Amino acid sequence: MDSVMSLSGDQSVVRKLKLDSWKSHAITFTVGMLALIGIPYIHIGIIHRWFWVPEKVGKVDKGTCTCSCFDTIFRGSYERGVTGYKNVYFNATAGSLQIWALIVGSLLISYEVIRYLIKVLRKGAVRWTWFFLFASSVYPHYYSVWNYFNYINERFYSQWYHQLLFSTTEIISTAVDLNLCNKNQAVTSRKLLMVFSINFMHVVVAGIDQFVANVFLGRGYAFQVFRDIGMTPPDVLHIVVCLIEMYRISKRHGPGMGTGSIMKDLPYAGAFMASFFIVSKML
């Protein structure tokens, strides 16, 4: 009798685990789909269409417009030469392949990040300060993806390496954010210095390059002002939180374990910031 009850109990546990796993996958899939479809729709379908450039809506005559830039290779033998209106045109070029790789890679990374965060949230292990810092970094990454899309699509590469420097270091900073969203991951001085150094240099270089002129001096176009306002506050938030956390570490562990550990890594942070500044001016 005991063995039967034990077996029944084990089966019940297995069923519960399978149900929890199914729920987790369903939630992840739903949230991921809503985010990945909804964000571009809000960006282009609502903000741009109805608020940013409403005068452009309805300007295309779908019945008579033509396109001679479409190589029609994708259409095979069904179509050739000058073609009519289509929602999407793409040519069989290396650039199209690069754009496809960019889109697929961005979507897969986004889905995996959402899946990880939902797992942390369901376990009640989220560290909210870093969760909000991570959320504040979504816009800079979203902006970068569209920048690369436009660079490749329009064959405009003069800003490519400058953007690559910022987006690569932004990815490193956001990866640390994601790590620290989980309470089971330790907040260390090395991680804090890494995030601080990256975001501090973003503020310094972006401020010199464009933020002061575009926002404070009013020399930028509207889209440049909104871009800079969206990009800079997340960096400032990261700097402030990192300084607070490093102060807490030094107070909690004392000069030996806290401040000493920070001072040990400080030369590396300084070397990175100097290198970042030099490279950014060279690009």
pLDDT in tens, 232-259: 889 999 999 999 999 888 887 655 444 5
Cβ–Cβ < 8 Å for 138, 171: no
Query: Buried b vs exposed e over 259-282: b needs ≥16 C-beta within 10 Å?
Result: bebbeebeeebeebbeebeeebee
- Pick the closest to residue 129 from 168, 183, 92, 86 (CA basis): 183
**Whole-Å CA distances, 230 to 41, 164, 186, 187, 234:** 18, 18, 29, 27, 8
Model confidence pTM above 0.95? no
- Residue 219: strand, helix, or coil: coil
**One-letter identity of residue 130:** W
- Give the model's confidence band at 279: pLDDT under 50 very low, under 70 low, under 90 confident, else very high: very high
Phi and psi, residue 183, nearest 5°: -60, -20
Q: Which residue has the tokens 């282009």?
A: 44
Query: Buried b vs exposed e over 210-222: b needs ≥16 C-beta within 10 Å?
Result: bbeebbeeeebee
- Pick the closest to residue 242 from 203, 187, 175, 204 (CA basis): 187
Radius of gyration of the chain (CA): 25
**One-letter identity of residue 261:** S
Orientation of helix 189-206 relative to helix 222-254, angle to 10°: 150
Cα separation, 58 vs 55, in Å, equals 8
pLDDT digits (tens, 9 = 90+) for 183-214: 999 999 899 999 999 999 999 998 776 766 77
Q: Which residue has the higher pLDDT, 210 or 34?
A: 34
Average pLDDT taken over every residue of the chain? 86
pLDDT digits (tens, 9 = 90+) for 76-110: 988 988 999 999 998 999 999 999 999 999 999 99
Cα separation, 47 vs 39, in Å, equals 11
The two tokens of residue 250 are: 């030094």
Who contacts 245 (Cβ-Cβ below 8 Å, separation ≥6)? 187, 192
pLDDT digits (tens, 9 = 90+) for 109-126: 999 999 999 999 999 999
Phi and psi, residue 182, nearest 5°: -95, 120
Cα separation, 223 vs 239, in Å, equals 25
- Residue 268: strand, helix, or coil: helix
